[in-house]
Structure 1
Amino acid sequence: MTLAIPQTDSSARPRFGVLQIIQLGLLVLLVYASARVIVPFVSLLAWAAILAVLLYPLHLWLSRRAGKTSSAWIIGIAGVVLAVAPMVLLTASLSSAVSGLISDLQNNTLTLPPPPPGLADVPVVGVKAYAAWTNAAANVPATLAENKETIRSVTSGLVAFAGKMATAELAFILSFVIATIFIAFGASITNFNRRLLQILTNSGDQGARLLALTVATIKGVALGVVGVAAVQAALLGVGFFLIGLPGAILVTLLVFLLGIVQVPAVLVSLPVIAYVFLKEPLTPALIFGVWTFVAGLSDNFLKPLMLGRGLEVPMPVILIGVIGGMIADGLLGLFIGPVLLAVAYVLFMDWFRQQQVKPALMTDRPPS
């Protein structure tokens, strides 16, 4: 018995000549050069895509009343105004305050108000803080001279922080402008992304499913993380204002920011409760303590209700993506992390189900 060895035609094999190698090298060089150009804008484009996804339902609602083009213009102008107006007001206020401070320093007329009487009653640091404030108010020029290096260091830090805030504000405005463009061409961009995912997954249904999952995850994270943080900050803020807490606005804003970065609000609410018990009568302090303690724990039952709502991905997967993405990539990772984990989870579960079906088919096959 002889085995027939199939003969392969050497002419059918692909040949890579010098020209093909040059073409491949030029293609790789083009991809590399394009990536270098795009990399500085990746963060802006990612934020623009997230904003476009979140604002697109508003665009659809406005477009039914004002038209698609007018709707995109309204969203873009309103977003830029809302971003620029607070910064302009803050800059004007700071400029006035800084110019007055410089004038007082030059004329040697800078004064400090006396310390509040309750400062000395603050546990641990109250007495020292009260004495230091009193000495500084009694002789401002000498205090400034003694702490010149510290003041210079603090001033440099504030200037650097202001520069970072201005850069972040500009980046947000640019992201909003790009998001407006994405919104205006939303249908075309959606079709392109759906087609691209269909090509990558080699399945029309799978591509559309992954695109819908990405959009739903971004909306779910915005509702579950930012929404829960806003609700919790509002609940705590009501108590702060009713009890007359000094700096209630700043403390409420701090709770909101900590909620976004997934830091428990109890870290703020418990010290506030302790402060109120030291300052207020027992009955209002007890009512405030119960309200603040419950509101500080409200995220524990709000997150399961709102985070990942309506998704085919379990809530723990989304929560891990939120926390891990935040640690890895900051605020942008808050959205990118859960999207990546959600897509990976869906693909893995689909593959896992396929692997379960194959052995079942093999065992059901009748014996030959």
Structure 2
Amino acid sequence: MRPDPATPRPALAGGPAIARIALAAGLVLLGLWTLHGFLPALAWAVILAIAAWPGFARAGRRWPAQRRLLLPIIFTGAIALLFLLPLGLLAVQAGREAGGLLHWLQEAQQSGLPPPAWLTKLPLGGAALRHWWQQNLADPEAVAGLLARLRQSELLGMGRELGASLLHRAILFGFTILTLFFLFRDGETLAAQARRASARLLGPAGERVARQMMASVHGTVDGLVLVGLGEGLLLGIAYALAGVPHPTLLGAVTGLAAIIPFAAPVVFGGAALVLFAQGAATAGLAVFLFGMVVVFVADHAVRPALIGGATRLPFLLVLLGILGGVESWGLLGLFLGPALMAALALLWQEWTAPRPEAPRPG
């Protein structure tokens, strides 16, 4: 017997639930698309808040009356200065060097640039490099022609692009600092909401995953940022003792480069080359060897202990998370990569853990 076509069919039980999930997913995607330009700033604010939260929580327990306004302002301002002061020093140093560079260019146009004495001492290609230098830089007319190729319109275009990029990054930095203030002020409420959401999405393992990711951020900050700054401090002292020009500035650059694995040798290797060019071969070799020792100890002993101890991850997964994160998200990936690896490793352990066997019926 066929059913009457006019008889209404019962709605599927899962229809409303599927519709709600689809609507929620669509709203989330629309929100992410609306905020996609500010997502890096939001991510940086979350990372900075997680990194500074233990100190903020201790200060909040000591001065509970100031937890809602004064302490968030103090911690937010301190973190902002942590970034702005080095940038200010770099800007001041760049301004001082600009005058010397202009004077050097004027002398080059008037009398040319004689080849340095160390150029011919290079074991490979010294004669060829000296010949190129004589043809392009020693002759004042050749120098003037080389500078004339940089047309004024191109320089203006580069200046506009640089100015627009700096303005955009300044706006994102300001938004990061503003978000950081609200994260400090409402952090406990947001953390409780995040724990409930992760528990509903992932079940009992949700809160453990969230805690593991936060521990990964703490360990990565200690293992990358603090260790990198320590490397910069040690190598800055070595630069000063060896006579490298601008040792403080170069030490700061080394510390920033040391945050990224395998990047510091580029900086102290360049400093060693500068010493070689000045005729101080022994000092240059000493700087290079000392830098290699510092990097070896930091990358193979200190960082694995800090990051792996916090995340309980093998060093290979930590390294893959850092390098893969940098390739995918830039500097933000330094912290997102290990956090994602830690979450995936914990989920894998949860899913592959042996289950108690159900008792067999007798």
Could you say which TM-score interval applies, normalised by the shorter chain?
A: 0.7 to 0.9
Instruction: Report the AA paired with residue 215 of structure 1.
Output: M
* Residue of structure 2 in register with 1:51 after alignment: 48
What is the match of residue 4 of structure 1?
A: none
Root-mean-square deviation (CA, aligned residues, Å) is 4.1
Q: Is the 8 A contact 2:228 2:258 kept in 1?
A: yes
The code of the aligned residue for 2:311 comes to L
Q: What does residue range 328-367 of structure 1 map to in structure 2 within 5 Å?
A: 328-353=328-353, 356-357=354-355, 361=357
Structure 2 residue 227 is the aligned partner of structure 1 residue 228: yes
Distance 2:21 2:321 in 1: 37
1:209 aligns with 2:208: yes
Query: Where does 1:1-368 land on structure 2 (aligned, <5 Å)?
Result: 14=13, 30-63=27-60, 64-65=62-63, 67-68=66-67, 69-81=69-81, 83-84=83-84, 111-112=106-107, 119-122=116-119, 123=122, 124=126, 125=129, 128-129=132-133, 133-136=137-140, 143-144=143-144, 147-152=147-152, 153=154, 156-157=157-158, 159-203=160-204, 206-270=205-269, 272-273=271-272, 275-276=274-275, 279=278, 287-288=286-287, 290-298=289-297, 299-353=299-353, 356-357=354-355, 361=357
Instruction: Answer whether contact 2:311 2:342 (CA < 8 A) is retained.
Output: no
For the pair shown, which has the larger CA radius of gyration, 1 or 2?
A: 1
Q: 1:174-218 CA distances to partner (integer Å, 9 max, x unpaired)?
A: 112101111111110111111111111222xx3332221111111
The Cα shift of 1:352 comes to 0.7
Shift of 1:284: 5.2
Aligned mates of 1:207, 1:264 — CA distance in 2: 35
Change (3 A) 1:157 1:209: same
Structure 2 segments unaligned to the other structure (5+ residues): 1-8
Letter in 2 for 1:237: G
The 1-side partners of 2:303 and 2:209 are apart by 23
Q: Residue 273 of structure 1 contacts residue 292 of structure 1 at CA under 8 Å; is this kept in 2?
A: no
Matched position secondary structure for 1:307: helix
Taking the aligned partners of 1:30 and 1:45, their CA distance within structure 2 comes to 19
Counterpart CA distance in 2 for 1:22 and 1:310 is: 41
Q: Give the drift of 1:160.
A: 2.6
Gaps of 5+ in 1: 1-9, 105-109
Give SS of 1:175's match: helix
Counterparts of 2:159 and 2:87, CA distance in 1: 16
Q: Is the 8 A contact 1:240 1:248 kept in 2?
A: yes
CA distance in 1 between counterparts of 2:351 and 2:73 reads 44
Q: 1:147 to 1:293 in 2, by over 3 A?
A: same
Q: Distance in 1 between matches of 2:84 and 2:220?
A: 26
Cα 1:265–1:208, aligned 2, differ >3 Å: closer, same or farther?
same
Deviations 1:122-166 (A, max 9, x none): 343467547755544xx7xx9556533325445644553343233
With over 3 angstroms needed to count, the CA separation of the structure-2 counterparts of 1:273 and 1:155, relative to structure 1, is same
* 1:28 to partner: Cα distance: 6.4
Alpha-carbon distance in structure 1 between the residues aligned to 2:145 and 2:115: 28
Give 3-state SS (helix, strand or coil) of 1:310's partner.
helix
* 8 Å CA contact 2:308, 2:318 repeated in 1: yes
* Identity fraction in percent: 22
Deviations 1:53-98 (A, max 9, x none): 1122232233324721210011223444555566677778878998
Distance in 1 separating the partners of 2:217 and 2:338: 8
Structure 2 distance, partners of 1:245, 1:347, is 49
Q: For residues 325 and 197 of structure 2, what CA distance do their matches in structure 1 show?
A: 25
Against the structure 1 CA distance between its residues 288 and 143, is the aligned structure 2 distance closer, same or farther, given a 3 Å change threshold? Answer: closer
Query: Which residue of structure 2 aligns with residue 6 of structure 1?
Result: none
Matches of 1:256 and 1:227, distance apart in 2: 9
Q: Does the C-alpha gap of structure 1 residues 112 and 283 become closer, same or farther in structure 2, counting only changes over 3 Å?
A: closer
Aligned amino acid, residue 37 of structure 1: T
Moved more, 28-37 or 306-315: 28-37
The change in CA–CA distance for 1:252 and 1:84 in structure 2 (over 3 A counts) is: closer
Report what 1:7 is aligned to. none
SS at match of 1:335: helix
Residues 180-189 or 49-58, more deviating: 49-58
Moved more, 34-43 or 285-294: 285-294
- Partners of 2:93 and 2:292 lie apart in 1 by 36
Distance 2:231 2:106 in 1: 40
Question: Match for 1:165: what amino acid?
Answer: L
Code of the aligned partner of 2:176: S
